Amino acid sequence: MPTPDVLIRDGHAGSTAAIDNIPDLEGFLKSNQGDRVKLPNDVDLETLKLRLPDIKTIVIDFPSFADGRGFSIARQLRKTYGFTGELIADGPLIPDQYVFALQCGFDGVRVDGVTYERQAESHWHDALSAFGVTYQRAYDFKNGPAVSIFDARKTSAAAKDANDPYFGLSAEQSIRQAVQDYNSDLVIASSMGVDSAVLLHMVAQVDKNLPIIFLDTGKHFRETLHYRDQLISKLGLTNVINVTPDRTEVKAKDPQSDLHQTDPDACCDLRKVTPLAGKIHDYAVRVTGRKRYQTPDRKDMPILQTEGEQIKLNPLAYWSAKDVTAYMRKHDLPVHPLLSLGFLSVGCQPCTTRVSEGEDARAGRWRNLSKDECGIHFVDGKWVPIEGKKTLEVF
């Protein structure tokens, strides 16, 4: 007996009964009644404009997981037409696209039984957790629990015991407090990754002129550079510092621009570790996007960490991956253009590939190499490359 279709909501699979037997667009338009409709992914939304206020549920067809036109329709419905009803994506979408669907305005995803059988239900949770990691994947959770385990609302006692001076402050409040406490000694380092927009949006609400370091390796996808410029423009950021490798060193050590093929560790050191180390310690306090749920080592991480040579402010310490998604939807923040194409972790172009159905979120980084980190780590207050060490000092 074939597996029935399932409706994925909040990472859980359930019955599709509530959205079964929904009329297609032609049948809906011919009828003078009805509050549900299924749309093709090439629909002209103007044909629905007058009836949208009466519609409660819209299902959008996805003929294949590689056809992303339905995402654009969802965003238009939410942003341009102000649709507030239920949106369901219908088709063989894969877990990697689940969070992107939520960000575009969908409330759930219906997948056919054959597609669903290829994935465990935990993979839909994994998609949420993987998306919450800004720069590196939570390695310790690769085969473990995928939902947010460490939650501020459940760990308040531990946080108080940790003597965190910023305990109880919201993410934005913690940034405001840090600006007051540290002023010009505060810096934000951003990779312009898949959830970087959240922290940058908060920074823009506090002080658009706070220094933000972006490490421009010279090997980024054009989409990443476009996303950087898009965020700067949309958020009105006025002090983004573009840090680049030393041209003389690049010419001497990588004259043919192929070092990534012969010695990827040396390439990362040349283009990432060394340039960042030369700039980050101009500041006493570094704002990070790290979160408690990402690794067991972070389960008691305070918002303000004062040990070490450089203080670390972790405004999102208590956030879950779902909090990130909800924030981006609430503030209509643009998503990284490569996310919908299967890139769940975006690094330099020569060393990053898209992730295929069923693969780990980090599988596209340095594919077919033993290398799985760029070498940027923060140890005892210093940025150092550590071969083989799987830490998560993201920026």
Give the whole-number percent of the chain exceeding pLDDT 70.
72
Give the burial class of 258: count Cβ atoms within 10 A of its Cβ; 0-12 exposed, 13-18 middle, 19 or more buried.
Answer: exposed
Helix (H, G, I), strand (E, B) or coil at 81: coil
Among 147, 133, 149, 118, CA closest to 344: 133
CA 255 to chain centre: 34
351 is known as an active-site residue: no
pLDDT value of residue 87: 93
Q: Report the alpha-carbon distance of residue 243 to residue 247 in Å, rounded.
A: 12
pLDDT value of residue 395: 38
- CB under 8 Å to 111, separation ≥6 — which residues? 5, 6, 8, 91, 92, 93
CATH code at 152-384: 3.40.50.620
pLDDT value of residue 127: 53
pLDDT for residue 165 is more than 70: yes
Could you report the per-residue pLDDT of 55-87, keeping only the tens digit for each? 999 999 988 766 678 888 988 898 889 898 999
Mean pLDDT of 272-292: 85
pLDDT for residue 225 is more than 60: yes
* Annotated catalytic residue, options 104, 267, 351, 374: 374
Strands 212-215 and 186-190: parallel
Residue 32, CA distances (Å) to 24, 55, 60, 362 in order:
14, 12, 21, 49
The reply to whether 152-384 shares the fold of 6-119 is: yes
pLDDT for residue 131 is more than 70: no
Give the global pTM: 0.57
User: Residue 89: beta bridge partners?
Assistant: 60, 109
pLDDT value of residue 142: 27
- CB under 8 Å to 26, separation ≥6 — which residues? none
pLDDT for residue 152 is more than 50: no
Could you report the per-residue pLDDT of 37-50, keeping only the tens digit for each? 999 988 899 988 88
pLDDT value of residue 374: 46
Could you report the per-residue pLDDT of 82-92, keeping only the tens digit for each? 898 999 999 87
Domain 6-119: CATH architecture, name and number where available: 3-Layer(aba) Sandwich (3.40)
Sequence spans of domains, the chain = 6-119, 152-384
